[in-house]
Structure 1
Amino acid sequence: MRTAAEYLPRRATELIADALEDTRVVIVNGARQTGKSTLAELCLRDRADSMRRYLDDPRTRASAVADPVAFLDAPGTMLIDEVQRVPELWLTIKHVVDRDPRPGRFLLTGSARLLGLSQLPDALPGRSETIELFPLSQGEINGQPDGFVDAAFTHGSQLAVKPSQLRRRDYLALASCGGYPEAIRRTSPRRLAQFFRSYLDDIMTRDVHQVADIQRGSDMRRLVGTLAAQSGGLLNYARLSSDLALPASTVRDYVGLLELVYLIRLIPAWSANATTRAVATPKLVFNDAGLAAYLVSGVTNDAAIGGLVETFVIGELARQITWSQTTPRLHHYRDRDGYEVDAVLEDNAGRVVGIEVKAAETVRTDDFRSLRLLQRRLGDRFRAGFVLYCGDQQLPFGENLACVPISALWTTSPE
C-alpha cells in the first residue's frame, strides 16, 4: 500500500468525506489498482475509533464468514476492504445499520460493481452511497483543474481554453500510459507492458472468478483482445459471436462480467423525440486507454489510433463527471443516416453538450456536420458543440460551436 507521501490526491476524497457525514454505508467501487484501499485509509486518518478489516487476508476472511455479527462490532467507522469477497456480510451490515443509523458506520471498498453482483442478497436502498473510483485523470496526475465539463455547461463555446503545447504523438503517449497509479510510475515501455500483462492476469484469474464461474478463461481472454481493437466502436454481439465462434449469449454474459469488474464501460445511446432515427446500440470503451493500447500494441492504422484517442477522451470525461457539479449523463449518438457524435452530455435540465473527437492536428468545417445536426434539431436545448482535437488552439466554427485542444479537458477551470 502506498504511503500518504507517495499518493497523488484524488478528487474522490472530498466526495467520500461528505458522504461519511450523512450516510450510514459508503461504498468505494472501482477497478483493481486504482488506489481504493489507500484512499479509504486516508479518509479515516482523522476519524476516532475507526477500525480496518482487509478481506484479502485469509484469516480475516474466515472470521467474517464464521461470525459476521462479531466481525462487524465496532464503536466507530469500520473500513472493510474488498468486501465482495464475503457476500455473507451484506445482510449483516444491513441489520447493523438498521439498528444503529448513525452516519459513517461503514466504509466499504470493492473491485467490482457491488450492487450488480448476484451473490449479494440485498442492496442497501436509502442506507448507502456509492462513489466510483476510476484510474487517475490527467488533472489528478498533473495537478490541474479538470473542469471542462462544468465550464462547457456554464459558458458554452465561450469557455476560456489555454493554448496547448501537446500534439498527436503526445496524446498517444498519454493514452498509452493510462491512469493506473502504478503504470504512470513506470518509465520504460518494457516495465509498462509488464504491469499491464500482470494486471490483466489478475483480472482474469482473480476478479472475474470472484464474481462468476468461468469454465474457459481462454475464451474470455480472446474476447478482451477483440474488444480492445474495437474500443470506441459500437457493441455488436452478433459480430463478436461470429468472429470468436462463441454463442451470442456467452459473449453477452462475458461482456457483462468485464463491465462488472471495471475493465470496460458501455456508453448508452442517446436519443430524443427530435432525433427519432437514432440507433439504440451502446458504444464500448475500455476504462483505461493504457490497457487498451497494450492489448493492440503494434496496430498503427488510422482506425486503431482514432479509437485509442476516443477511448482516452471518453475516459477523461467519465472521470470528470463523477465530481462535476453539473453531474450530466454520458451518452453517444448515431443515426441511420450516418451522423454520429462521440459523446453527448445531458444535464438534469435537458441541456446538451456534444463532443466529437479527432485524432488529427487540424479541423475542417465538415468535422462539425453531426454537431450541427443536433444543434438544428435541439434548438435552445443545445448548449454547445466541441471538436476536441490534437492541435494547439481554440477556434470558433459558428454559433455555440468551437474546436478546442484535447488538453482543455484537464487544463480548463470549472468556473
Structure 2
Amino acid sequence: MEYIHRDLEKKIKELAEDYSCILITGPRQVGKTTLFKKLMDENRTVVSLDDLEERKLAQTDPAMFLQMHDLPILIDEVQYAPQLFPYIKMAIDNGASASSFWLTGSQAFRMMELAQESLAGRTAIIHMSSLSQHELYGAGDNIEFSVDLETLKQRSKNGTKAELSELYERIWMGSMPGYRSGRYKDRNVFYSSYIQTYIDRDVSELITNVDKLVFMDFVRAAACRCAQMLNIHDIANDVGVSDETIKRWLQVLEKSDIIFYLRPYSNNLLKRTVKTPKLYFFDTGLVAYLTKYTTPEILENGAINGAILENYVVSEIRKTYQNEADECLMWYYRDKDSNEIDMVIESDGMVHPLEIKRSVNPGSELTRAFRILDKGAVPRGKGAIICMRSELSAVDSENYIVPIWTI
C-alpha cells in the first residue's frame, strides 16, 4: 500500500508545538489515524476504542484508563468514550505538555460538541476529509481556492491537466484513501463494505431499531439528488417513509460527514432569495457507486453527469480550506425570479460568484446572474466560470475562466 501525503501534515506539525490536545474529526476511513501514525514517533502510546475492553474501561473508569496508558497518547475513535473528555481537560489544566493527546473521532458533530463543552480553548479541532485533487494529482503546497489571479496562476502550475474523460475517471474513482492508495483493489467491494460498515456502526448507534435496507434505499435516493436543492418530500416518496423520518435521517448523514449543504446566500437587501439548501456528498466515488454507474464512461454520459461534476468542484474547493484547518464562507444563490449562481464565496469583505459548467467554451452570458449580487450589502468581487477549458483564461476583466483540474 502506498501512503499518499496529506496536506494537513504541515498544519498538524505546527499545532503540535502549541496544543496539548489535537482532535481530528471526519468521515470513516479518510485516513485520520493513518495520518497521526505517520507523524508520531515510537514513544507515543496507541489505543483504539474499537477494542471493546479498552472502550469499557474508558467508559466506566476514565481516570484509570488514563493511568494505564502513558503520555503522549493517540486515542482512536474517541467518540465511543466521551467520559474521557473531562479527565483530559484536567490533565491539560495540570500542565500536560504540548502534543500529549492526539484524538480521532468519526462523528464530527458529536466530537465538536464534546470538545467544545469540555475542552474549549484547550484543543485544536481539525476536520479531515477524503483525499483532495491536489493530494492525488497536484504538486507544491496546498493553496486555499480564491478568485485571485496570482493564486489561480499558481494553481495552474501545481495541477495536473485532465480532459473530460480523465476528469470523470477521477470523479468515478472517488477520493477514499483505502481504495486510491491501492490497499483495496475492487472498487465495488470497497464501497459496499464502506457503506455497510457505516450503517452497522454509526447509523445503528444514532437511530434505534433502524431498518438497514430502508436506510440504504434512503442513502441511494439522496445520492441521486446530489448538487440539487433539497426536496425532503420527494425523497420520502421514493423511500416510502414520512417526511419527518427523512429529516432525521438527513441529520444523521450530515453528522456523520457523509453529506454537507450549501445554504442559500442572502442578506437584508436581497429579500427574494429561496430558503432551501443544496445537498452535496463528501465523496463523488460514493455517489457513483450508490447510483450504480459502473464505469467512468457511462457516468460521463449519464443523467447526473452535470450534478456530480458540480458536487466534485464544490467538495474540492471546500477541501482546500479544510486542509489548512480553515473555514470558507460558501453559499449558492437562487431567487424567486430564477436567477441562480452555483456558488458564492466570501473573503476579505467581498463576495465572489462562481458558475460550474461542463463546457469547454462557456459564453459570457453565464456571468449575467453575477450582477444580482450588486444589490447586496457586501461588495461583489471577481467572479469565475469553472469549466473544462484546458488553460486559465478570462471572460473579461471582472470574470475568469478556471479549468476544473486546477481546483
Q: Render the CA deviation track for 1:94-119: whole Å, top value 9, x for unaligned.
A: 33323335432311101111536888
CA shift at 1:383, angstroms? Answer: 2.3
- After superposition, the Cα gap between the structure-2 partners of 1:396 and 1:7, relative to the gap in structure 1 and judged at 3 Å, is same
Structure 2 partner of 1:61: 55
Structure 1 partner of 2:322: 322
Identify the match of residue 381 of structure 1 among 379, 382, 400.
379
Instruction: Give secondary structure in 1 for the equivalent of 2:24.
Output: strand
Count of residue pairs the alignment pairs up: 400
AA aligned opposite 2:351: V
Q: Report if the CA contact (8 A) 1:268-1:331 is conserved.
A: yes
Q: Report if the CA contact (8 A) 1:168-1:360 is conserved.
A: no
CA shift at 1:14, angstroms? Answer: 1.9
In the aligned structure 2, how far is the partner of 1:241 from the partner of 1:269? 22
Instruction: Give secondary structure in 1 for the equivalent of 2:381.
Output: strand
Note the 1:18-57 alignment, pairs <5 A: 18-45=14-41, 49-57=43-51
- After superposition, the Cα gap between the structure-2 partners of 1:160 and 1:274, relative to the gap in structure 1 and judged at 3 Å, is farther
Note the 1:187-336 alignment, pairs <5 A: 191-298=186-293, 303-324=303-324, 327-336=327-336
- After superposition, the Cα gap between the structure-2 partners of 1:147 and 1:180, relative to the gap in structure 1 and judged at 3 Å, is same
In the aligned structure 2, how far is the partner of 1:183 from the partner of 1:400? 40
Q: Runs ≥4 in structure 1, deviation > 6 angstroms?
A: 117-121, 156-160
Structure 1 partner of 2:405: 407
Structure 1 partner of 2:352: 353
In the aligned structure 2, how far is the partner of 1:270 from the partner of 1:9? 35
CA shift at 1:18, angstroms? Answer: 2.1
Q: Report if the CA contact (8 A) 1:223-1:244 is conserved.
A: yes
In the aligned structure 2, how far is the partner of 1:382 from the partner of 1:407? 25
Identify the match of residue 92 of structure 1 among 87, 107, 113.
87
Structure 1: gaps spanning 5 or more residues? 410-415
Structure 2 partner of 1:178: 174
In the aligned structure 1, how far is the partner of 2:359 from the partner of 2:160? 14
In the aligned structure 1, how far is the partner of 2:26 from the partner of 2:320? 15
- After superposition, the Cα gap between the structure-2 partners of 1:350 and 1:154, relative to the gap in structure 1 and judged at 3 Å, is farther
Structure 1 partner of 2:127: 132
AA aligned opposite 1:272: N
AA aligned opposite 1:61: R
CA shift at 1:217, angstroms? Answer: 1.8
- After superposition, the Cα gap between the structure-2 partners of 1:53 and 1:187, relative to the gap in structure 1 and judged at 3 Å, is closer
Identical counterparts, % of pairs? 26
AA aligned opposite 2:221: T
Q: Render the CA deviation track for 1:251-270: whole Å, top value 9, x for unaligned.
A: 11111111111111122222
CA shift at 1:325, angstroms? Answer: 8.9
CA shift at 1:10, angstroms? Answer: 0.7
AA aligned opposite 1:166: A
Q: Report if the CA contact (8 A) 1:28-1:36 is conserved.
A: yes
AA aligned opposite 1:391: R
In the aligned structure 2, how far is the partner of 1:160 from the partner of 1:57? 43
CA shift at 1:334, angstroms? Answer: 1.4
- After superposition, the Cα gap between the structure-2 partners of 1:204 and 1:155, relative to the gap in structure 1 and judged at 3 Å, is same
Structure 1 length as normaliser, TM-score?
Answer: 0.87
CA shift at 1:151, angstroms? Answer: 4.9
Identify the match of residue 393 of structure 2 among 381, 392, 395.
395
CA shift at 1:41, angstroms? Answer: 1.4
Instruction: Give secondary structure in 1 for the equivalent of 2:375.
Output: helix
CA shift at 1:157, angstroms? Answer: 7.6
Structure 2 length as normaliser, TM-score?
Answer: 0.88
Q: Which range moved further: 399-408 or 69-78?
A: 69-78
Identify the match of residue 71 of structure 1 among 65, 73, 81.
65
In the aligned structure 2, how far is the partner of 1:310 from the partner of 1:280? 20
- After superposition, the Cα gap between the structure-2 partners of 1:358 and 1:303, relative to the gap in structure 1 and judged at 3 Å, is farther
What root-mean-square deviation, in Å, do the aligned CA atoms of Structure 1 and Structure 2 show?
2.9
- After superposition, the Cα gap between the structure-2 partners of 1:164 and 1:9, relative to the gap in structure 1 and judged at 3 Å, is closer
Instruction: Give secondary structure in 2 for the equivalent of 1:273.
Output: coil
Instruction: Give secondary structure in 1 for the equivalent of 2:208.
Output: coil
- After superposition, the Cα gap between the structure-2 partners of 1:197 and 1:64, relative to the gap in structure 1 and judged at 3 Å, is same
CA shift at 1:318, angstroms? Answer: 0.9
